[in-house]
Amino acid sequence: MRAPGDKSGLKAGDTLLAVENVSLTFGGVKAISEVSFDIRKGEIRAIIGPNGAGKTSMLNVVNGFYHPQHGRITYKGQTRARMKPYQAASQGIARTFQNVALFRGMSTLDNIMVGRTLKMHRGLFWQMLRFGPAMAEEIEHRRVVEDIIDFLQIEAIRKVPVGKLPYGLQKRVELGRALAMEPELLLLDEPMAGMNLEEKEDMCRYILDLNNQFGTTIALIEHDMGVVMDLSDRVVVLEYGHKIADGTPDVVKADAKVIDAYLGIERGVSGPSQESEAT
Amino acid sequence: MFYREAGQFKQSYAADQAIFPIRQDRIGLAVILLIAFVGIPLFGNEFLLASVMVPFLILALGAIGLNLLTGYAGLLSLGTAGFMGVGAYAAYKLSTIFPEVNILVWILCSGFFAAAVGAVFGLPSSRIKGFYLAVATLAAQFFLQWCFVRWSWLYNDNASGAIEVPARTLFGIAITGPSATPVTRYLVVLTIVVVMTLIASNIVHGRIGRSWMAVRDMDIAAQLMGIRLLPVKLLAFAVSSFYCGVAGALMVFLWLGAAEPAAFDINLSFVLLFMVIIGGLGSLIGSFFGAALIHILPIAIRMLPDALGLSIGAATVEHLTFMIVGALIIFFLVVEPHGLARLWQIGKQKLRVWPFPY
């Protein structure tokens, strides 16, 4: 499989995406308030938090679906103006959804081929002929897609309409579709939700392989703490739209606020805030 | 037993990406084309050619146009007849202003006028979808039909308010007007429909078709793949209207011979929509099935009593036809809500494993 196009020229460890003081409100509801964090190139960054903490909203902000009222987002060294999702896509941000958002009427192959849309350039004229350059382009991208199918081990279902696939495989196809974009930043919204242990292990393997072999930067939301602590390089914890902790898994695990958020407050013990910016 | 692809291995992606990857399908298609191009013109009588096949092909072309929009891009439209009318009137104006240019050029060019009008009336699709979009496109239907009635320049101030097809030739053979034989008209229509179906099939199997289906199935995810919704939707409207426009021009020039604005009323829009739904949304072959069911089946039923030697009154036959066709439509939709195209798919699948159940 091809490594994602490295157009930014950033080295591993440089800041790929920086979110600064971002606030997002819907009417009177504050979904995110004053959250700052960064994602470094080549790392696996987990975003965790209880339900309704604003994790998915955060991804939607990064993606361009939501426009934050305050704060700024710097991606590849450039502070971003309001942008549309397709612009985020063209800058190399891909994502998967919490509830599978595949194109249900299309086959696995076609779904992943849609991920190549931005890289295909032949216009209506050649598409009408489906011959010569158009066919050559189609086959060139088919080859890339077949590599992805190979990587995700979904060869057997390439011609099956995705609506007929079991949930675990649908998640895998969705990952494949995101990979087809050769993303620099891959956002995974609960990639392991609703999976059994075996499927989870497979998914973890794919995520680690992606990160190790191709250096893809990954931001993931996940509720399985075992997975989060094992996979991620750094973790940011949100609660009610606020950031309550940020750091390596070990630091976050020991953070009193995080323990409070997840296990409930132990009366009289809750210590002072330990805003730890560790690396 | 005969329809089985065992042993047909694909050695290249090109072979696997072919529109008919199975050899039996290709043979079947060749046989159908042979019958259509040689068999029917040789052995068909005037009635079969002029009243059955020509309207069937033209309606199928219109249904393909609507299917590209509704079945592939998921945009519901009730303006189909309006867009067909734009094609018809554009071809009429062009052929009367520039009579020296070949009529076939103008019939195909008229599609571009329809495409432009369709794209303009497709603009609301950036904000609304589903039934609401259908209502918005209804505006196109009524506005365009109003134009055909009120704007006398469109029909050259003809006192009857209708457009009459001028006689035109191709290589010295009359193809439009009263002197054109049904065989020539049939062959011209058939050629255009076959070529345009091939082009439609190429489009829907490529990047553009996939973008349409992506927008249809999940527009949020489509945006994330870098697909810009408005241009994709407008392109769907334009291409769809192009097909409808050409179908409209063919309808007037090679089928009816003359047309009043009422020919492009909302009934035609509905008929085409029913063809698409019964035939199968998102299927080109379904458009042909739908057109056959709605146009050819009633004719066949009407002829049935005579063929069987039964003496039933003409009025009774007419009533029976309505009842039988209506019942069949309900039957097919109950058996397979995804249309005749899906039944065809299931049939082929059954044939593959025959004589075993699976």
Please, what's the b/e burial string for A33-44 (b: 16 or more CB within 10 A of its CB; e: otherwise)?
Answer: bebebbbbbbbb
Q: So what's the pLDDT on residue A276?
A: 44
Q: Which residue has the tokens 């240019």?
A: B101
| A127 vs B13, B203, B226: nearest CB | B203
Chain-centroid distance of CA A151 in Å reads 18
CB contact under 8 A, A86 and B228: yes
The per-residue DSSP string of A248-270 comes to -HHHHHH-HHHHHHHH-PPTTT-
Chain-centroid distance of CA B312 in Å reads 34
pTM of the model: 0.89
Whether chain B has a CB inside 8 Å of the CB on A65: the answer is yes
How are beta strands A185-189 and A217-221 bridged, if at all? Answer: parallel
H-helix or E-strand spanning residue A188: strand A185-189
User: Is B250 within 8 Å of B190 (Cβ atoms)?
Assistant: no
Q: What is the pLDDT along chain A (279 residues), one digit of tens a residue?
A: 555 545 556 777 788 899 989 999 988 888 898 999 999 999 999 999 888 888 999 999 998 889 999 888 998 888 887 788 888 898 899 999 988 899 998 999 999 999 998 888 888 888 888 888 888 888 999 999 999 999 999 999 989 999 999 988 999 999 999 999 999 999 999 998 888 899 999 999 999 999 998 889 999 999 888 888 889 999 999 988 899 889 998 888 888 888 888 777 655 544 444 444 444
Q: So what's the pLDDT on residue A278?
A: 42
Q: Which of B220, B224, B240, B281 has the highest number of chain A CBs within 10 A, making it the mutation to test binding with A?
A: B224
Handedness of CA A158, A164, A169, A170 (dihedral sign): positive
Helix (H/G/I), strand (E/B), else coil: B263: helix
- Report chain A residues whose CB lies below 8 A from the CB of B222: 103, 114
Domain residue extents for chain A: 1-87+216-279
| Of A182, A190, A197, nearest in space to A151 by CA | A182
- Report chain A residues whose CB lies below 8 A from the CB of B239: 124
CB atoms within 10 A of CB B20: 13
Amino acid letter, A262: Y
Q: What is the pLDDT along chain B (358 residues), one digit of tens a residue?
A: 677 777 788 888 888 888 888 888 888 899 999 998 898 888 888 888 888 999 999 999 999 999 999 999 999 999 999 999 999 999 999 988 888 888 889 999 999 999 999 999 999 888 888 889 999 999 999 999 999 888 888 887 777 778 888 877 777 777 777 777 888 889 999 999 999 999 999 999 999 999 999 999 998 899 888 899 999 999 999 999 999 999 999 999 888 888 888 889 899 999 999 999 989 898 999 999 999 998 998 888 888 877 887 777 788 888 888 888 889 888 888 888 888 888 888 888 888 888 887 7
Whether chain B has a CB inside 8 Å of the CB on A110: the answer is yes
| A117 vs B202, B226, B235: nearest CB | B226
Q: pLDDT tens digits, residue range B242-265?
A: 999 999 999 998 888 888 888 898
Handedness of CA B145, B150, B153, B155 (dihedral sign): positive
What's A1-87+216-279's CATH class? alpha beta
| CA distance to partner chain B, nearest, from residue A71 (Å) | 23
- Report chain A residues whose CB lies below 8 A from the CB of B221: 97, 101-103
Q: So what's the pLDDT on residue A7?
A: 57
Which structural domains are found in chain B, ordered by start? 46-353 (1.10.3470)
Whether chain B has a CB inside 8 Å of the CB on A139: the answer is yes
Q: Which residue has the tokens 């612009």?
A: A87
Token digits for B38?
């040689």
| B227 vs A65, A110, A117: nearest CB | A117
Q: So what's the pLDDT on residue B10?
A: 82
According to DSSP, residue B21 is labeled -
Q: So what's the pLDDT on residue A268?
A: 52
Average per-residue pLDDT for chain B: 88
CB contact under 8 A, B224 and A88: yes
| Of B31, B29, B10, nearest in space to B20 by CA | B29
Residue of A nearest to B281 (CA): A105
ipTM of the complex as predicted: 0.86
